[in-house]
Amino acid sequence: MNGHSKICIIGAGTVGATAAYSIAQKHIVRELAIVDVNNDKAEGEAMDINHGLITIGRMNIHSGTYADVKDSDIIVVAAGLGRKPGETRLDLAAKNINIARDIAQNIKQHYNGGVILVVSNPVDIMTYVILKETGLPAGKVFGSGTVLDSARFRYMLSKALNADIRNIHGFMAGEHGESQFAVWSSVHVSGMKLDSYCDKMNVEIDKDGLVNDIIGLGAQVIKRKGVTNFAIAAIVAELCGTIMGDCGSIFNVSSFIDDYYGIGNVCISVPSVLGKNGVVSHLPYDFSEDELVKLRKSAKGLREFMDQLGI
């Protein structure tokens, strides 16, 4: 790392704290500030991570206030009410909108650059609200979107195919929720199209069943342990590393769409080029006609829901 680098995490709950640990483990930045309304909790998390620095290396990890937004390269928003068993991400919206507005106003008071990565659910709506409330350029604010869902997709495919996950590529798009869909046209195994691979290897996949399982995986984890934190924390660290490295990598993050295949005025996940300034551009992916129908339907559903909430 050259020069000073800083990440500020808003929210020291299970997701925020685990993300802080994952970021520290990868030694992505020199300074990591953890901010929470419960300062004792934030301070305790910082202390706990600091006590393991002997395995990480020198870092300045500390609790803080919204003033720590200043000079941050990345501001990770992980605050908000968690999803309860049986509750959809969209059910959370009405509760978390006011939290998002409050966070955005506090960030505005100290913001002088950097990008905002929203993790709190429902992430597409939270991202939209924080973008509008801060008034920042669209690419500067984005959400984790379907990056985790895409990771789950590849994991489930690896199990179904009995193949190394590193050889499997493909992604989920749309809302980070019930209307997301698998972009089957994107799936390949070691460069081979999925259908061709399955035919030659004599493997059958229940595509609809697999997608339904993926959509419900988060709820299944929550049912068993009350929260999902390890996988999303690993995703946050990966995205932060990409931003700090200005890699130009493509991820299905959620960001503001303005006339993408006729879709506009919504934050939704499509293939996006990610760099130090956030979302640099949206990749005009070659969706099939059926996939475009699903993408538009997902966006329409989100937009209608936000209209009901007056967003």
Whether 2 has a pLDDT exceeding 70, the answer reads no
Residue 310 pLDDT level (bands cut at 50, 70, 90)? confident
Spatial contact of 272 and 283, defined as CB atoms under 8 Å apart: yes
Name which CATH class applies to 6-143: alpha beta
Poorest-confidence range of 90-99, 110-119, 174-183, 298-307? 90-99
**How many Å apart are CA 141 and CA 117, to the nearest integer?**
6
User: Could you tell me which residues are beta bridge partners of residue 278?
Assistant: 275
Angle, helix 230-244 to helix 147-161, in steps of 10 degrees: 120
Q: Please identify which of the residues 27, 51, 169, 176 carries the catalytic annotation.
A: 176
Task: Look up 282 and say whether it is catalytic.
Answer: no
Phi, psi of 74, rounded to the nearest 5 degrees: -140, 135
**The CATH fold of domain 147-309:** L-2-Hydroxyisocaproate Dehydrogenase; Chain A, domain 2 (3.90.110)
pLDDT band at residue 83 under the 50/70/90 scheme:
low
Q: How confident is the model at residue 90 (pLDDT cuts 50, 70, 90)?
A: low
| Residue pLDDT, tens place only, 7-48 | 999 999 999 999 999 999 999 999 999 999 999 999 999 999
Task: Please report, rounded to a whole number, the percentage of residues in the chain having pLDDT higher than 70.
Answer: 96
3-state secondary structure 15-57: HHHHHHHHHHHCCCCCEEEEECCCHHHHHHHHHHHHCCHHHCC
**What average pLDDT does this structure show over 135-153?**
97
The whole-angstrom separation of Cα 132 and Cα 62 is 29
CA distances, 257 to each of 280, 284, 287, 296 (Å): 12, 12, 16, 12
Interval 235-255 mean pLDDT: 97
What residue ranges do the domains of the chain occupy? 6-143, 147-309
Q: Average the pLDDT over 259-281 and give the result.
A: 96
10 Å CB burial of residue 259 (0-12, 13-18, 19+) is exposed
User: Measured in whole angstroms, how far is the alpha carbon of residue 81 from the centre of its chain?
Assistant: 16
The answer to whether residues 252 and 270 touch, using CB atoms and an 8 Å cutoff, is yes
pTM confidence score = 0.95
Distance between CA atoms of residues 15 and 42, nearest Å: 12
What mean pLDDT comes out for the span 124-144? 97
